[in-house]
Amino acid sequence: DIDHLNLRVQKELVEWLNWLKADIGFDGWRFDFAKGYSADVAKIYIDRSEPSFAVAEIWTSLAYGGDGKPNLNQDQHRQELVNWVGKVGGKGPATTFDFTTKGILNVAVEGELWRLRGTDGKAPGMIGWWPAKAVTFVDNHDTGSTQHMWPFPSDRVMQGYAYILTHPGTPCIFYDHFFDWGLKEEIDRLVSVRTRHGIHNESKLQIIEADADLYLAEIDGKVIVKLGPRYDVGNLIPGGFKVAAHGNDYAVW
């Protein structure tokens, strides 16, 4: 175990981080198991090494109901993520992985897309509150891959990417999906849509529809994304929009 409150430990870790920056060329940090030490300690490491980007893994359980599924309201869960960033310094480079969005998406794509509109009408994850500080993802090395601890439904992975790559937040693509699953071209198309239209971590999200079999949203007035098996959505798409990417139960205009 590392005693992060020990001043010598802090000093040596800061020196190591600065060596990684200056000599090796790293410019950002990922804080593993960040709930294992205080945000005050993480702030020390970030302030004294000045990375251009830092992301924390704060993985806690969602709130579940009696049916074994996540509650619609996950405010307490995303509040923890927001609190961490606030304590480390909201004006600095600190962000957190949006585990709230990940958990809700896992269930929503299984015929419960209504979950993607929170009680306030906004996105239900951290991206609904502080998107500039939310790093969205479909799976990572813990949840997917060989560990398989909280995997996204494997036949609906591209719905997950259609969501995070068109929405605010900073999307993160999983190595396995991109290189091993044969999804590179599909993911690339979504990335190019995001890049071409300048969608960014604080883009404006307008949720048009969130039903069991349909989620439809417009981002920055430039991009529209549809998730779910419902196809008769032509009446909901404004004129001038053309399909730019599509796949199994998703489309992007």
- Catalytic residue, chosen from 57, 75, 209, 211, is 57
State the DSSP code for 134. E
Residue with tokens 């897309």: 113
Residues 117/124, Cβ–Cβ less than 8 Å: yes
- Catalytic residue, chosen from 27, 32, 40, 120, is 32
Token pair in block for residue 132: 């500039």
| Whole-number Cα distances in Å, 125 to 35, 153, 163, 168, 190 | 19, 18, 12, 11, 21
Q: Is 57 a catalytic residue?
A: yes
Calpha distance 82→75 (Å, rounded)? 10
Closest CA to 225 of 163, 171, 160: 163
Token pair in block for residue 148: 């398989």
Q: Alpha carbon 191 to chain centroid distance?
A: 15
Q: Is 32 a catalytic residue?
A: yes
- Which residues are annotated as catalytic? 32, 57
